[in-house]
Structure 1
């Protein structure tokens, strides 16, 4: 069954990259906090560590930043239906998220047209990813503890980006709660351990499509329990200076237009037309 779930036709039927004409995700289109600023987003992207048991001579390369033995899995997902749209597994746990992402780009990960995915700051500036500002409050837990409102365009951008991108952390959390073997590990041959994440991602999608109400069982899951924020910088890798400049300019444009809209809302709120817009 593992081979069947991780191979065509089952896998390619239920885990598929979106096309260029993919509609604007509902959570963006129906919310003035995100529309039209994030209209070109196809979904969210991130890496997650899956516990593995490689042969002794391979364990050093598989040791991750937390000291555990794992494979680093790169994936993308939808923002509304919480479906996986791409999965690359089998990379040693010592590899950074940005390294795994580059391996995906060199393999078969494709982003159509001028669309992009929301990703963590560790991925750096590339055309196909939109990342938050570094050195600025970002993760939702930080905002929750502070109880503050954004004071500039960078903070507002990071807050809204984090709320949307949280879909990828949540879907990994749901996957690991649904299939505990991903956190407990197994001692099958590595060629089978590598197939386990994509097979279970495809099975997750199958369940979500044919039993959408089942997601209610995972309402308490808000993030990936094994996620560690990355500090690597993809800009130091294959991305060209021109690509980094384009990605930086795109982010600044979105942040500025979003901030101007937010300031307009604040003025309306002061005039008595209050509405939640953070």
Structure 2
């Protein structure tokens, strides 16, 4: 399946979902105060693009998202390389990591707010914590998938541990790190909006949604904010996928070829 076909099918699926939501609302199966027609929600979302205060809130959310994701990557990549390269360290840290990983970031909001106060620092910290794990585990996994023959060859020519890491292991792990960053980008956006909703004050897309929820007949604005959150996630993912394809085409082509072969065998 070509990329154009993927895009066309995605547009077709979106149009079908839009039509179903519109039909359900218009038919009166659900009260309009609970589910406004999709056309009204989309029109409201488009009008919000001309609201400077709303766009300032989007900027606040994206700034917290970028800071949290950047902090997570700055911690996760070196830590993942250390854990993947030194088995003793990985064994010593495994219990701590497995204890911390399942903790939901939203549940940590009261504790982090108590320690850091409300505001950007709390939001960035929670985003970084939630975004850390996909990058960390992808880095460790990618390091374990490095071709041992390439490492042994470099060592045979007298290269040290650092040279092997920089010249073989890190380039081979880079596509896995990029995939982890793409997953973490979605997690970071979820945490950015969720933290703002739960905090209930300040600026941001989550604040807009939280305030609309308490307004009279505010369901339309809530859903319009959700549309914006989904659109931001879609754009961010699209940009990262495009960058990943451009930077690591040499690593993605074999996977795509294998995927096409598997689909051909199924059919």
TM-score (norm 1): 0.29
More helix by share: 2
TM-score (norm 2): 0.30
More strand by share: 1
